[in-house]
Amino acid sequence: MKTVAVVGTQWGDEGKGKIVDLLAADADVVVRFQGGNNAAHTLVVDGEKFILRLIPAGALHPGKVCVIGNGTVVDPLALAEEIAALRARGRFLDDDLLKLSCDAHMVLPYHRAIDRAREARAGRRAIGTTGFGIGPAYEDKMARVGIRFDELKNPRRFGEKLARNIAEKNKYLAAMLKAKPLKAKEIANQLGRVRARIVPYLCDTGAFLAEAIAAGRRVLFEGAHGTMLDIDHGTYPFVTSSNCIASAVFSGAPLAPGRLEAVLGISKAYTTRVGAGPFPSEIKGVLANRLRTEGEEFGSATGRPRRIGWFDAVLARLAVRLNGMWGLALTKLDVLTGMDPLRICVAYQFGAKRYDEMPPGRGVLERARPIYEELPGWRESLSGARALGDLPTAARHYLERIAELAGVPLAMVGVGAAREATIVLNNPFRD
Ligand code: IMP
């Protein structure tokens, strides 16, 4: 297949970066289509650790074109910093390899200030955002007062819009959020310094992708966050501000519907989430601490400790349905070594009723109790496994049960952080 999307099936942090990096070896173009630098993909390449926030994970393969589509919101200062950091490490040296949609919206310092001030004032109602201004930037896009990258081509007009927006946001910050106003001149200067570095990347990503696909090139669409953080389908309001499911590719890359050939869902062998909101299979205490430490479950974007839980098959089935999933990549199976017994949430109990499928209205999740199935664990290290046959029987049974409950075939299994620590059963680009 030639067009493949990778999406998270949980609350983000499923290990998409590693799988995208692995698949990127077979792709010509890698595309981000939603979200911003609230995403953080951790990759380990030749023993070196990289965290990518805005630049698609293809950046670590020489010669791959990286596209940031119109559905994203991009902080120009963070983008310039990320490019410079990669360059300093001898990566991503060719400017022609980055295409940034001129229609993508900018995340500006006032978005960050509003995000942080709102969260600080929300107390127990806080969402636990990354604080990078993502929600306020998408709000401005929908309110039709956002600033798109295309505006950078005309510095005078850009300066006017920026000044107008800062004046308005300063009033809002002071009156509603009791926060300090921002200095318009300082922001204009900061952006002026990065402008010339960013303009050469601007592109009509839709036209670029249509041409690449017509020329038979392989395109990988890299989702950020996860299905349960989707603005429509996730645990609203404890979600991010974009659509994170595969259909966002069509509006946000963009790609014409019908041109996407496969969707690969990524899930951890257990579940994590950062920030507030319902999490039916959450566990606490010694076991959670152990998984957090073994799995290094601390947010790559913010460093926050992630909440931990068992694998939730109800969520997995919802993600399979919403994303039209072709296959599932299960990551971090190795982290479960030594946990015995293992549990999988197979349904929810709410009142007198059992729900095998996601109940309508996510509010129910606040009070839904998980119904677990127990499976035996294993003690052997999995890190050297490269085929299913290398795994202990109990690990194979765990995988089979997850695939059966989720209703989707397994395509890959992660057994360690490195690119090569992966059992590849089916690579969509080679199918
Ligand atoms: P925001 O996207 O910064 O507005 O944060 C909204 C919610 O989404 C918070 O609970 C964040 O922790 C969560 N979130 C956003 N991006 C990611 C991600 O890439 N991984 C995990 N959680 C995320």
CA of 329 to the centre of ligand 1 (A): 21
Ligand 1 and 235: CB distance under 6 A: no
Is the torsion defined by CA of 333, 335, 337, 340 positive or negative? Answer: negative
CA–CA dist 337, 378 (Å, integer): 6
Is the distance from the beta carbon of residue 275 to the nearest atom of ligand 1 less than 6 Å?
yes
Q: Is the CB of 17 under 6 A from ligand 1?
A: no
Q: Say what the pLDDT of residue 344 is.
A: 98
Atom of ligand 1 at shortest range from CA of 275: 10
On whether the CB atoms of residues 280 and 28 are closer than 8 A, the answer is no
Class of domain 105-200: mainly alpha
| Direct distance between the N- and C-terminal alpha carbons of the chain, in angstroms, rounded to an integer | 6
Give residue 12 CA to ligand 1 midpoint distance, Å: 7
Q: Is the CB of 247 under 6 A from ligand 1?
A: no
The candidate with the shortest Cα–Cα distance to 111, out of 74, 84, 157, is 74
pLDDT at 358: 93
* Burial class (CB within 10 angstroms; exposed 0-12, middle 13-18, buried 19+) of 321: middle
Closest by CA to 369, choosing from 282, 427, 275, is 282
Q: For residue 114, report the distance from its CA to the centre of ligand 1, in Å.
A: 16
**What is the 301 CA–ligand 1 centroid distance (Å)?**
9
User: Hey, how many other C-beta atoms are within 10 angstroms of the C-beta on 138?
Assistant: 23
Atom of ligand 1 nearest to the CA of 135: 4
> Which residue's structure tokens are 């974009």?
242
Cα separation of 254 and 82, whole Å?
23
Q: How far is CA 40 from CA 17, 57, 118, 301, in A?
A: 8, 10, 23, 5
Helices (H) and strands (E) in the chain, counts: 11, 21
- Strand 282-283 to strand 307-309: parallel, antiparallel, or no bridges (unpaired)? antiparallel
Q: Which pLDDT score is estimated for 42?
A: 82
pLDDT score, position 115 = 98
3-state secondary structure of 283: strand
- Please tell me the pTM assigned to this model: 0.96
Q: Is the peptide bond before 428 cis (omega within 30 degrees of 0)?
A: no
| Ligand 1 binding pocket includes 60 (Cβ within 6 Å) | no
pLDDT digits 0-9 by tens, 323-335: 999 999 999 999 9
Alpha carbons within 13 A on the beta-carbon side of 294: 20
- Tell me, using a 6 A CB cutoff, whether residue 229 lines ligand 1: yes
Q: How many Å lie between the centroid of ligand 1 and the Cα of residue 278? A: 14
237-284: per-residue pLDDT in tens?
A: 999 999 999 999 999 999 999 999 999 999 999 999 998 999 999 999
Expressed in percent and rounded to 5, the helix, strand and coil fractions of the chain are 40, 20, 40
Residue 274 Cα, ligand 1 centroid: separation in angstroms? 7
Helices assigned H by DSSP within 153-303: 155-177, 184-198, 205-214, 248-252, 286-294
The Cα 85–Cα 77 span in angstroms is 12
Q: CA-to-CA distance for 117 and 381, rounded, in angstroms?
A: 46
Strand-pair category, 219-222 with 29-32: parallel
Amino acid at site 117: A
pLDDT at res. 73:
98
- Residues 234, 273: Cα–Cα separation, whole Å: 12
Q: What is the spatial distance between Cα 371 and Cα 41, in angstroms, rounded to a whole number?
A: 32
Q: Is 240 in the pocket of ligand 1 (CB under 6 A)?
A: yes
Does 132 contact ligand 1 (Cβ within 6 A)? yes
The DSSP call for residue 128 is -
pLDDT value of residue 377? 98
Residue 346's SS3 state is strand
Atom of ligand 1 nearest to the CA of 38: 16
Q: Is 210 helix (H, G, I), strand (E, B) or coil?
A: helix
The pair of structure tokens assigned to 187 is 């922001």
Whole-angstrom distance, CA of residue 378 vs CA of residue 125: 40
223 contacts 246 by C-beta, under 8 angstroms: yes
Regions of the chain where pLDDT drops below 70: none
Residue nearest to atom 9 of ligand 1 (CA): 129
Residue from 37, 132, 268, 274 to probe ligand 1 pocket by mutation (most atoms less than 8 Å from CB): 274
Please give the number of the atom of ligand 1 that sits closest to the Cα of 274: 12
CATH class of the structural domain 3-95+204-424: alpha beta
pLDDT of residue 140: 98
Separation of CA 308 from chain center: 18
Cα of 316 to ligand 1 centre, how many Å?
Answer: 19
Q: Which residues lie below 8 Å from residue 292, measured CB to CB, with a gap of 6+?
A: 298, 305, 306, 308
Catalytic residues, which ones? 13, 41
User: Are both 3-95+204-424 and 105-200 of the same fold?
Assistant: no
Residue nearest to atom 19 of ligand 1 (CA): 39
* Residue that has been written with the tokens 């799995």 in this structure: 295
pLDDT value at position 37?
A: 96
Q: Is the CB of 130 under 6 A from ligand 1?
A: yes
SS3 245: coil
How distant is the alpha carbon of residue 119 from its chain centre? Answer: 21
> Does residue 129 line the site of ligand 1, with CB under 6 A?
yes
| 411: helix, strand or coil | strand
* Cβ(39) – ligand 1 distance below 6 Å: yes
Query: Where along the chain do its domains lie?
Result: 3-95+204-424, 105-200
Ligand 1 centre distance from Cα of residue 35 (Å): 9
